[in-house]
Structure 1
Amino acid sequence: MGNMLYQEAREAVARAELLALAAETDIQKEAVQKEIQRAKNALNSAFHHSSTAEQEQLGQMQSQLHNLTTMGQFE
C-alpha cells in the first residue's frame, strides 16, 4: 500500500503547483496560499514517518514549494 502520508504530501505539492500555474485572480492566489500551507503541513507530517529515500524526496518537494513562494505572490 505504501506510505499514505508520503503520498498525501506528494499530491498536495502537485495540487499547489497546478493551482499556482493557473492562478490569475486574487481569489485564486488565496487558494494557492492555502494549498501551499496544506502541502507544508503534509510534508511535515510525512517526514517523520518516512524512509530515508522518501525523506530525501520530501526535501525536494519542500524545495518545489519554496520556489513557488519565491516566484509568485503566494506567501
Structure 2
Amino acid sequence: MANRLFQKAREAVNNVVGRMNGNGSHEQGHQMSHQPEHINAHDEAVAQNAISSAMANSSDAERAQLAELQQELDQNGDLK
C-alpha cells in the first residue's frame, strides 16, 4: 500500500521547486511561460508541513527520500 502522506509531500516539494525553476504547470490549461514563478511563504509552508507529516508514518527508505526532498526544498528556498 502506498504512503499517501509521502506522496503528498513529494508532490508539494516538486510543485514548489518546479515553480521556482520555471518548470511548473498551470492546472487551468494556460501555456507555460518557463519563467520562474514567485513562491510565497504559504507554498513553502505547505511543503514543509507535508514533509513533517509524512516523516512519522514512513519507512526508513521513505524517510531518507523525505530528507532529500527537505534538502532540495531548502536549497531552492535559498534561491528566492
Q: TM-score higher than 0.5 here?
A: yes
Indicate which of 52, 58, 64 corresponds to 1:56: 64
Query: 1:39 aligns to what?
Result: 47
Query: 1:7 aligns to what?
Result: 7
Highest Rg: 1 or 2?
A: 2
Which is richer in helix? 1
Per-residue CA shift, 1:43-75, capped at 9, x if unaligned?
A: 000000000000000000000010011122xxx
- AA aligned to 2:43 is E
Per-residue CA shift, 1:1-50, capped at 9, x if unaligned?
A: 40000000000000001221221xxxx342xx321110000000000000
Residue identity (%)? 33
Cα RMSD (Å): 1.1
Equivalenced residue count is: 66
Q: What is the alpha-carbon distance in structure 2 between the residues aligned to residue 34 and residue 67 of structure 1?
A: 17
Question: TM-score, with normalisation over the residues of structure 2?
Answer: 0.76
Structure 2: gaps (5+ residues): 22-35
Moved >3 Å (runs of 4+)? none
SS of the aligned residue for 2:78 comes to helix
- AA aligned to 1:34 is H
Indicate which of 72, 75, 78 corresponds to 1:70: 78
